Amino acid sequence: MGPLGEKRRIRICHLYPELMNLYGDRGNVIALVRRAQWHGLQPVVEEVSLGTPLDPSAQDIIFIGGGQDREQRIICKDFSRVKGESIKEAVALGVSFLAICGGYQLLGKYYRTSAGEVLEGLGVLDAWTEAGTKRMIGNVVVESTLSGMPRTVVGFENHSGRTYLGEGARPFGRVLSGYGNNGQDGYEGAVVGNVIGTYLHGSLLPKNPWVADWLISKALERRYGEPLKEGELDDSIERIAHEAAIRRASETARRSR
């Protein structure tokens, strides 16, 4: 609680909701709002679209979903003309950030499309993406140490881009089932500071509530100097959904052998 018993406010910025929303990525914002409310916080969602400036210091969590090449091309222009420097500043300030699929690619250095066009990214993640000829589709299980201990992350991937990490980024996790960043090195996603980039749709956060809480906790620590307390919520239903997703991924992997 804040002064006089007021709830602590947490601001969630949803970037380009009408353009970057593949496979129900908007569900991640819904999950952040619900988790924040259940933790006794007051979430405020601001949808920020094309041509609208971004106030980096006002944000606590920023989210951007996935989009195809056409949408990414449009976003790149808006980054260049309007929001790019503000997003970089927000990342430098330690704002929590979740970027999915196409949004993840645009936070890296560049994305080279199948036509050879280079879409310049923001470079906040030490990563780059090259288009491939084969789509990598299916359920994914990842082991991540993001929270300091090994935990599983489940989701769904559908991408032809191959993302590679430089020394300045660490992977979101190690692939147990699925393709991950490129189907070769065994890694999924990228993490730099409080920024997570990942190919996992699903939506990601409802099936992995601990990741939502990590984002919220980092935001609270930055804004109020105090992170979330572990184990405050009953996540038994979420755990059932999470474990069911792991079983489905394992069954799919067995059938494909």
HSE at residue 235, side-chain half, CA atoms within 13 A, is 22
Q: How is 206-244 classified by DSSP, letter by letter?
A: HH-HHHHHHHHHHHHHHHHS--PPTT-S--HHHHHHHHH
Three-state secondary structure call for residue 133 = strand
Active site residue 101: yes
Reading the block at residue 39, the tokens are 């933790």
Distances (CA, A) of 49 to 15, 52, 75: 6, 6, 9
Active site residue 201: yes
Q: Which residue among the candidates 13, 39, 76, 101 is catalytic per the annotation? A: 101
Q: Which residue among the candidates 39, 159, 201, 242 is catalytic per the annotation? A: 201
61 by Cβ neighbours in 10 Å (0-12 / 13-18 / 19+) ranks as buried
Which positions are annotated as active-site residues? 101, 201
